[in-house]
Amino acid sequence: METPIKVIISGPRGRMGKEAVKMVSNNENFQLVGVVDRINEGKKLSEVDNEFNNIDCLVYTDIKHCIKDTQPDCLVELSVPQAAFEHIKTALAYNVRPVVGTTGLNQEELDELETIANDGNIGCIIAPNFAIGAVLMMKFSQMAAKYFQDIEIIEMHHDQKLDAPSGTAIKTAQLIEEVRAPKKQGHPDEIEKMPGARGADMSGMHIHSVRLPGLIAHQTVMLGGQGETLTIRHDSYNRTSFMTGVKLSIETVMKLDRFVYGLENILD
């Protein structure tokens, strides 16, 4: 049997973090060696929450301390954007390969991380959405955008989400930008009678963010043509839907020597 990949997880008590702790702990090719959180320094994870029954790795509030103590191969970052940037930079500085699900990092931060990872020849995967169906929805939207240039992206998430638009909606628009020239949509004299009525604008496409209790993560991309519309939709009904992508990213990042933004770049 191969030596397991030593993993640390940032944000272990969060909705995604909990799911990732379970997935990593139950996979014999991975070893959860520590977690990074805001609180509970020095406690065992099993002491923090009943859900972590039998998981005895330690909680650290300082990622440097965690890395020095546990010598991990990989950081799975699932916390908040305010903390994520420093976590990823620190991981890269210690040759620990980041797998990042946290959204809300700005373009400057992403560019800086890309430079650090590529200059150091160290793998780093940032995936705005780990669900395989969501990646296909983005790729299908990009394919369709070659033929339909008028596009509205409607992303729908639970009401505890901090960032809007979602990372997935931004990434979808970026993929579409690769095949569609900027185009102002709607009537040239269109007036927004209420600010935000037409959503956010990316190269003339519109992005609408819905936040409601009961939702998990959903996106509809509507493309309009002459006498027809095409609707492409993806739904995540639980957070297990993201774990196939997290698992694949941990395995893949260990073989990478560069920065990757988007799961579509590592899927066969």
Residues that bind ligand LLHOTIJI in the complex, under the rule CB under 6 A = 103, 128-129, 157, 161, 166-168, 217
Q: 83 contacts which partner out of ligand LLHOTIJI, ligand NAD, none, CB within 5 to 8 A by kind?
A: ligand NAD
Check: CB of residue 223 under 8 Å from CB of residue 230.
Answer: yes
Order of strands, sheet of 217-225, starting from the edge strand that comes earlier in the sequence: 200-202, 205-211, 150-157, 217-225, 228-236
Asked if 16 interacts with ligand NAD (CB under 6 A), we say yes
129 is in an annotated binding site: yes
Asked if 155 interacts with ligand NAD (CB under 6 A), we say no
Q: 154 contacts which partner out of ligand NAD, ligand LLHOTIJI, none, CB within 5 to 8 A by kind?
A: none
- For ligand LLHOTIJI, the closer of residues 14 and 123 by Cβ is 14
CA distance 10 to 79: 6
Query: Binding marks (x or -) toward ligand NAD, 228..257, rule CB under 6 A?
Result: --------------x---------------
Q: 102 contacts which partner out of ligand NAD, ligand LLHOTIJI, none, CB within 5 to 8 A by kind?
A: ligand NAD
14 is in an annotated binding site: yes
243 is in an annotated binding site: no
CB neighbours (10 Å) of residue 57? Answer: 23
- For ligand LLHOTIJI, the closer of residues 32 and 105 by Cβ is 105
Asked if 70 interacts with ligand NAD (CB under 6 A), we say no
Which residues define the annotated binding site for NADP(+)?
Answer: 38
Site residues (CB under 6 A) for ligand NAD? 10-11, 13-17, 36-38, 78-80, 83, 101-104, 127-130, 242
